[in-house]
Amino acid sequence: MDTSHLVLSPKERSGFRPLLAAMQCIVSAHPAPGKIQCMRVLREQWIRAKYERKEFTEAEKKLTYEEATRDGMLMKRGRDNGQFLSRRFVLSVREGTLKYFTKYDAKEPKATIKMDTINASFQPEKIGNPNGLQITYLKDYKNRNIFVYHENGKEIVDWFNSIRAVQLHYLSVAFPGATDAELRPKLTRNFLKEGYMEKTGPRQTEGFKKRWFTLDHRRLMYFKDPLDAFAKGEVFLGNSDLGYSASAGLPTGTHCNGAWNYGITIVTPERSFLFTCETEGEQQDWVQHFNNVLRTPMTPQEYSMEALYKYKH
C-alpha cells in the first residue's frame, strides 16, 4: 500500500480533510491480512493524533517529525546473530542523514545512511513485532536491510514520519520548482510484492532452491532468509520493448526437481531466469506484477540503474 499521502505539509495541518482522506485509503485498500497488519500501527496512531493529541487542529503546534534532529533508541536486529539490541539512531535534517551507533556514547556511528538512498516500510509480520520497521539503503552499490522496532507505536510512527519529512526537505532542495504533491511519490514506498519462490542457477541444471523474493519496482531481489541484511542476487526488470519479458511456465525440457511445479520464466537481454511457485495463484500474481513493471516506461535514472546492473554482472 502506498503511504505517500501520509506526510502533511504545514498548509494541510489546519484541517481534517487530508487526514480523513488518508484514513479512508488505509481502511479501504488491500484487504490482504499482511497488509492490514502493516497498516494497523499507522491507522491507530493517526486516530490518536486526531482525537487525543489534536495534532491537526492546532496550526501553531509543532509536530514531532518537524524537528531538525531526532535522537533516540530503537531495537535493531543484529546482522550476524539475529538478536535485537538497543541502538541509538540520530536523524539530521541539516546533514540529510540517518546514523546509528552501537553504544549511546559512541563517538563514531556504525553506519551513516544518506537520505537519497533510504527507504522505510512497516514489516510487522516479517520482523515479528507489530511495530516492526524495515529500513533499506544503498551500501557499496548493494541494498542493505536493517530491521528495527519500538515497543511504543507512536515512537515508531514518529520515526517513520521523521524520515519522510527529512526526505521531503532533501527533495525540495534538489527540485526547488516541484510541489509537495509532486515530491511525495518519491518518498518511502512499500515493496510491490514479497514472498517465497524457488529458483535455479544460470546453467539451469542446478537444483531449484527456495528463496525469499522482494520486488522493489524494477529490482527483483532474492534472499536465503527474509531477514537477511543483503540479497544473494537480483534481477533487473527493464521495459518489454527492450528485450524483457515474463511469462508463466518453464522452457520445454527443463528438469524441475524442486518441490513446487508452477513455473515462471523471466527473459532479459543477457539471460533467462527460471522460478517456481507453490500455487497457481501465486504464479499468476507474480507474473502480473512483473508485467506491470515491464510495461512501464523507464526513466533516465532507471536506464542508469540498468547500465550499472549490466556492469556489475
Letter string b/e over residues 32-68, b meaning 16 or more CB atoms within 10 A of that residue's CB: eeebeebbbbbeebbeebbeeeebbeeeeeebbbeee
Q: pLDDT-derived band of residue 147, with 50, 70 and 90 as boundaries?
A: very high
pLDDT given at position 86: 97
Is residue 152's pLDDT more than 80?
Answer: yes
pLDDT given at position 204: 66
| Proportion of the chain above pLDDT 90, given as a percent | 56
Side-by-side strand order, sheet with 119-122: 111-114, 97-101, 84-92, 69-77, 142-149, 133-139, 119-122
pLDDT given at position 62: 67
Average pLDDT over residues 95-99: 95
pLDDT given at position 23: 37
pLDDT given at position 38: 56
Q: Which of 125, 254, 142 lies closest to 190 in space, CA to CA?
A: 125
Report field, pTM of the whole predicted structure over 0.95: no
Residues ≥6 apart with Cβ < 8 Å to 167: 115, 118, 186, 187, 188
pLDDT given at position 137: 94
Q: pLDDT-derived band of residue 65, with 50, 70 and 90 as boundaries?
A: low
Residue, of 83 and 61, whose pLDDT is higher: 83
Q: pLDDT-derived band of residue 223, with 50, 70 and 90 as boundaries?
A: very high
